[in-house]
Amino acid sequence: MENFSIVVHGGAGEDSEFIHLNESAIKTGLEDAVNVGQEKLKQGGSAMDAVENAVRLLENNPLFNSGRGSVLNNEGEVEMDASIMDGKNNGAGAVALVRNVKNPISLARHIMENTPHVFLAGQGAFKIAKESGLELEVDSYFITQHQVDRYIKSRKKDDVDNFIKKRVHGTVGAVALDKAGNLAAATSTGGTTNCLSGRIGDSCIIGAGCYANNSTCAVSGTGDGELLITNVIAYSISTYMEFKNCTVQEACDYVIHQRNKNINGDIGVIAVDAKGELGICFNSERMHRAWKTNDEKLTVKIYK
Ligand code: ASP
């Protein structure tokens, strides 16, 4: 049997009232993303199509911090990062600091497939999106009341320390194995609330928040972007598998709970290997996640 699997995440971090109030809608959003990706895989579609379509759905869902529903930076503006990687050929595409592009993940894929580059940022990336006919939206499309409230809270001086300590992440990602044995990973985010304008996180950095290699695994990360970058989280998981010849779950556990056990922040990862086995690991209170392998029942979880 040709195995096929998909895992999605909707961010890792602390629990919050917002999550409790929206728990069932968050779970439905994750389930819909798995189902859309799984349907592609079932019909023989590529892992790249599965992860792109799953992430697009999450980008369109205002409950997650990516696309519509992105957090606001210190100027009260939305700047989005995304990346995608094809485990078959080491191909990758990434965008940083994009505005007004409805689905940054599709722009990342477009850059991978239609330009000689891997990574474009800002105005240049926007120009490519416009020229290629990708869907654009006005600023207000991306901004939700929930993120405005969080932004205002983060700007109240007395609350800043508390806010920074209480990390609430809602970045999205997907990893998949298709029937042809190819792996792919995709990650998309609005970044972190009240971050400096121009700040770039891990979600668009190949090897940090996104990585795929058919001979090891595909990984998508979430959490404190600065830590995922400096500890090269996604690539570490792939490399550990390669050198130790261990399972993908063992590699995720080692990188999160041992190698980075003293880290002062949140890290969460989802991963899949070339046999369709999954790795899911986080050091935070919760990570929104859902997965499905072959025709097994879909599983969706928020807490440990
Ligand atoms: N990793 C993302 C970033 O730092 C945030 C998140 O995962 O919620 O941009």
CA of 191 to the centre of ligand 1 (A): 5
What residues contact 235, with CB distance under 8 A and at least 6 apart? 206, 207, 208, 211
Q: Is the CB of 189 under 6 A from ligand 1?
A: yes
CA of 165 to the centre of ligand 1 (A): 14
- Catalytic residue among 28, 115, 144, 171, which? 171
Q: Return d(Cα 136, Cα 164) in angstroms, integer.
A: 31
Q: Is the CB of 193 under 6 A from ligand 1?
A: no
Closest ligand 1 atom to 226 CA: 4
Q: Are 106 and 96 in contact (CB under 8 A)?
A: no
Each of the 304 residues of the chain gets a pLDDT tens digit; together they read 699 999 999 999 999 999 999 999 999 999 999 999 999 999 999 999 999 999 999 999 999 999 999 999 999 999 999 999 999 999 999 999 999 999 999 999 999 999 999 999 999 999 999 999 999 999 999 998 888 888 888 877 655 555 554 555 689 999 999 999 999 999 999 999 999 999 999 999 999 999 999 999 999 999 999 999 999 999 999 999 999 999 999 999 999 999 999 999 999 999 999 999 999 999 999 999 999 999 899 999 999 9
In the residue annotation, 115 being an active-site residue is answered as no
CA of 247 to the centre of ligand 1 (A): 26
CA of 203 to the centre of ligand 1 (A): 6
Q: Which amino acid is at 47?
A: A
Q: Return d(Cα 170, Cα 176) in angstroms, integer.
A: 20
In three-state secondary structure terms, 6 is strand
CATH of domain 5-303: 3.60.20.30
Q: Is the CB of 191 under 6 A from ligand 1?
A: yes
Q: Is the CB of 73 under 6 A from ligand 1?
A: no
Q: Which amino acid is at 259?
A: R
Q: Are 202 and 228 in contact (CB under 8 A)?
A: yes
Report domain extents, the chain: 5-303
Q: Count CB neighbours of 299 within 10 A.
A: 16
Q: Is the CB of 203 under 6 A from ligand 1?
A: yes
- Which pLDDT belongs to residue 37? 98
Q: Return d(Cα 133, Cα 233) in angstroms, integer.
A: 34
Name all contacts of 149-152 with Cβ < 8 Å and 24+ positions apart.
Answer: 150/71, 150/72, 150/193, 151/71, 151/72, 151/76, 151/193, 151/194
Residue 159 sits at the vertex; the CA angle it makes with 156 and 160, to the nearest 5 degrees, is 85
Q: Is the CB of 192 under 6 A from ligand 1?
A: yes
Closest ligand 1 atom to 201 CA: 9
